[in-house]
Amino acid sequence: MLTGKGALVAGPGLALSFLLAAICCGFAGLCYAKFASMAPISGSAYTYSYIAFGEITAFIIGWDLILEYTLGAATVSIGWSGYLVNLLDNFGLHIPTALTAAAGTTPGVHTIFNLPAFLIIILITWILSMGINQTKRVNDIMVLIKLAVVILFIVCTVWFIKAANLHPFVPYGLYSVHDGTAAGIIPAASIVFFSFIGFEAVSSSAEETINPSKTLPRGILLSLLISTILYIMMTLIMTGVVKYTVYSKYLNAPILAVLVKTGQSWLSMIVSLGAILGMTTVLLVMLYGQSRISYSMARDGLFPKVFSKVDAKRKTPFVVTWFFGIVTALAGGFINLNILAELVNIGTLSAFILVSAGILVMRYTQPKAKRGFKTPLVPFTPIMAIIFCFVLIAGLNWETWLRFIVWLIIGMIFYFVYGRKHSVLNK
């Protein structure tokens, strides 16, 4: 979804940006795998920070993760909307332009609200509220279809790559300023990093996973490996078939630029359908992770108790799922895509830093905690994860930093006014 913007920032070298982001996630993933096997409890990085650092740090990262998942799901819903609009256009069905994007999204185009983005979040929230077994079945089917479409796209388009489109491979170097904005491999990695955050949500399913000490580490690392291979292949094809500068016209649905160039209009509907299903699975994972983290924080007393209630029939945190689902749907309808994506990235990178630092802390505070997966090459692995995370954070613009700081200040006010007083640990 953000490949088009990433290509404009790094050129064909975007493949290296994906590799850089994957290396960062790889080091962090090894740290996540340790905590996921050692503490198979809902809450992901929030729970891990609670174990390593205590309540206040855990609250900060939990507050951070709520931002990550809420805005992350909203970001994906906007991309989902773009492909749906294109698919419907192929059938002669047109959604009013004013209802296809947030206000001010496209200069010179009058838009008010992204209705498809709003509705898909509401639909996914309803599916999640019905129970984990129903959610798993729906997700498994969509993942299989998505992988089939990706492979079909690669097979049908790889033959159209032209070497001239890949030159120069790195037009802006590692980091430079182009037309007043940051460009190069590192800034692009800071943007496309968003594509990898799904593995973090995998660890949120600990309490609902069979044999989590073994299956969670395997799931985290395997999903990261497969994603990296597919992302790099797709990027090389997209920048090899179409000159990277062309993507300025296809930011909402970049894959369509390749299909227009190759004249494979028959593939357009299939790819749009695959993209829609693929993004739907991402939405399921993100909204699921969001509800479980919020549930864990409420169970610990840091959020209102009503958020920790589990529906007796469906066995799901019904109230918190719908509350944040509605908030996310409104964000997808009203907020600009670029602002959302960069806020998600800085939030996720901050979570990675704390989880990696937690491995270093536990090396001294709990040296005998050897159960489950063992992070290799400690302290090298967590230190490298922290360094790579800071490199990617440095690639984000200062407005993103400012918005993130404001969000953290609001969180600390909430903690000291409400969370600290109602904390189960404090009592």
**Integer Cα distance of 219 and 31 in angstroms:** 14
Structure confidence by residue, pLDDT tens digits, 89-122: 877 788 888 887 777 666 677 778 888 999 999 9
Look up tokens 């970049």; give the residue.
254
CA 346 – CA 419 distance, rounded (Å): 24
**Which residues are bridge partners to 182 per DSSP?**
177
Give 322-365 pLDDT, tens digit per residue.
999 999 999 888 876 556 667 778 888 888 888 888 888 877 76
Alpha-carbon distance of 403 to 382, in angstroms, equals 27
- 363-371: long-range pairs with CB below 8 Å, 24+: 365/52, 369/38, 371/37, 371/38, 371/213
- How many CB atoms are located within 10 Å of the residue 407 CB? 17
169-189 pLDDT, tens per residue?
999 988 887 777 778 999 888
3-state secondary structure of 182: strand
The stretch 161-167 carries a mean pLDDT of 91
Q: Is the distance from CB of 59 to CB of 415 less than 8 angstroms?
A: yes
Rounded mean pLDDT, 180-209? 73
Residue 83 confidence class, pLDDT cut points 50, 70, 90: confident
Q: Above 70 in pLDDT, residue 82?
A: yes
- What's the rounded mean pLDDT across residues 267-282? 80
Q: What is the pLDDT of residue 194?
A: 74
At which residue do the structure tokens 């001010």 appear?
A: 104
Q: Is the pLDDT of residue 254 over 90?
A: no
What is the CB neighbour count within 10 angstroms for residue 211? Answer: 10
pLDDT, position 204: 56
In the chain, count H helices and then E strands.
16, 2
pLDDT at 46 over 90: no
Token digits of residue 314: 């469906």
| Summary mean pLDDT of the chain | 81
pLDDT for res 409: 93
* Domain ranges across the chain: 3-422
337: amino acid identity, one letter: L
On the 0-12 / 13-18 / 19+ scale of CB atoms within 10 A, 170 is middle
Q: What is the pLDDT of residue 275?
A: 78
pLDDT at 30 over 70: yes
Q: How confident is the model at residue 243 (pLDDT cuts 50, 70, 90)?
A: very high
Q: Is the per-residue pLDDT at 371 higher than 60?
A: no
pLDDT at 132 over 70: no
DSSP annotation of 6: H
Q: Which range is least confidently modeled, 55-59, 194-198, 300-304?
A: 194-198
Q: Which residues, at least 6 apart from 345, have a Cβ–Cβ distance to it below 8 Å?
A: 190, 191, 193, 194, 197, 392, 396, 400
Given the DSSP bridges, would you call strands 176-178 and 181-183 parallel, antiparallel or unpaired? antiparallel
- What is the average pLDDT across 395-416? 87
- The pLDDT of residue 177 is 79
More confident of the two residues 179 and 7:
7
* DSSP secondary structure string for all residues of 212-245: HHHHHHHHHHHHHHHHHHHHHHHHHHHHHHS-GG
Q: What is the pLDDT of residues 47-67, one digit of tens each?
A: 777 877 888 888 988 888 888
Query: Across residues 355-382, what is the average pLDDT?
Result: 76
Q: What is the mean pLDDT of residues 227-246?
A: 90
Provide CATH code, domain 3-422. Answer: 1.20.1740.10
Supply 374's token pair. Answer: 């063992």
Distance separating alpha carbons of residues 219 and 145, to the nearest angstrom: 19
Cα–Cα distance, 114 to 331 (Å, whole number) = 10
Q: What is the pLDDT of residues 277-294, one digit of tens each?
A: 878 878 887 888 888 888
Encode pLDDT of 19-29 as tens digits. 999 898 888 88
Compute the distance between CA of residue 229 and CA of residue 225 in angstroms, rounded to an integer.
6
pLDDT at 387: 93
Phi, psi of 96 (to 5 degrees): -50, 130
Report the pLDDT averaged over residues 234-239. Answer: 91
Grouping H, G, I as helix, E, B as strand and the rest as coil, residue 179 is: coil
User: What is the pLDDT at residue 61?
Assistant: 84
Are 370 and 359 in contact by the 8 Å Cβ rule? The answer is no
